[in-house]
């Protein structure tokens, strides 16, 4: 079972345009979709599509339409007391795949709300193969919330994966090795934000991204899956490092693609695949998601895993 925590969930509303976005202009909208989302929720949604058991911990009322939508999609949802209404995020997609995101902060939480969320994860962790802590933190949460929860999860059974950015990511790295998770999924910009370096170089150069990821392993992280946009992804573990190039992809929307990449890796892990195959599955999932509108989760028959090229990088044992 994959357990997910989304402390700052959102209703993801996607607006598709028939022309490039022009500020200050009136434009035609070709489609509008809305979906219960957030990074952890997207991973639980992908698990449901793949037939993998998952429990999504989210702050929302049990009868909130957000929770009801997840349950209707076959997702086992564990709602906990929220601080307020689920926020709404707006995504604007252009014909060439360019994506603009406008994310609202959400309701402000206090220590009691955060402890209720943490307790729900700790209570269920023993049943899970992985506990995934994902996304931004709500207003009022200390930047170290994830770092503290990673440390508290030690000894509870589940391995821990973290996918976050900005202040929570920095707090996590600063608290290592005590807060080092079993898996991190940064992108090139996020790697640069905590380790230094040029984000454009890390996004474009898999060898540079792997070198940066090794710094996180030296601080105690079990493995790093670094997603590099159109350049695929890099996986670094104690056994070695690999780069996977994506299959030919017509990008429609990149929203949720990184979440699907993380799920692909977790699916490969719980399926017993070796590291290069876990990476290939991650990139296949991310690429398939990017070829679909909004935050659509790809099905297995939409993956092109056989077209993902995996190359071992220097330093493999």
Cα 299 to Cα 50, 120, 278, 291, 296: the distances in Å are 7, 29, 17, 12, 9
- Farthest CA pair distance, the chain: 57
Catalytic residue among 174, 259, 277, 306: 259
- Asked if 259 is an active-site residue, the reply is yes
The Cα–Cα gap between 267 and 250 comes to: 24
Q: Which positions are annotated as active-site residues?
A: 259
């Amino acid at each position: 079972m994959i357990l997910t925590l989304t402390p700052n969930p959102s209703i993801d509303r996607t607006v598709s345009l028939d022309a490039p976005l022009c500020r200050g202009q009136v434009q035609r909208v070709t489609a509008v979709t809305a979906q219960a989302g957030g990074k952890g929720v997207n991973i639980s949604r992908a698990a449901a599509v793949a037939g993998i058991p998952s429990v999504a911990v989210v702050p929302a009322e049990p009868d909130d339409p957000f929770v009801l939508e997840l349950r209707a999609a076959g997702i086992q949802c564990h709602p906990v007391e929220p601080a307020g209404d689920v926020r709404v995020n707006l995504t604007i997609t252009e014909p060439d795949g360019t994506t603009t995101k406008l994310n609202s902060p959400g309701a402000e939480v206090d220590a009691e709300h955060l402890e209720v969320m943490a307790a729900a994860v700790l209570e269920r962790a023993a049943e899970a193969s992985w506990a995934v802590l994902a996304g931004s933190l709500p207003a009022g949460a200390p930047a170290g919330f994830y770092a503290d929860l990673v440390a508290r999860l030690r000894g509870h059974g589940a391995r821990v994966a973290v996918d976050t950015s900005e202040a929570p990511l920095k707090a996590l790295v600063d608290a290592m090795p005590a807060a080092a998770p079993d898996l991190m999924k940064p992108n090139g910009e996020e790697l640069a934000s905590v380790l230094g370096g040029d984000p454009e170089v890390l996004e474009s150069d898999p060898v540079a991204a792997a070198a940066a990821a090794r710094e996180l392993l030296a601080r105690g992280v079990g493995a790093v899956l670094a997603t590099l946009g159109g350049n695929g992804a890099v996986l670094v573990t104690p056994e070695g490092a690999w780069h996977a190039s994506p299959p030919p992809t017509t990008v429609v929307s990149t929203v949720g693609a990184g979440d699907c990449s993380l799920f692909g890796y977790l699916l490969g892990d719980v399926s017993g695949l070796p590291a290069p195959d876990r990476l290939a599955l991650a990139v296949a999932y991310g690429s398939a998601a990017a070829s679909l509108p909004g935050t659509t989760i790809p099905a297995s028959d939409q993956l092109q895993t056989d077209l993902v090229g995996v190359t071992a990088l220097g330093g493999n044992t």
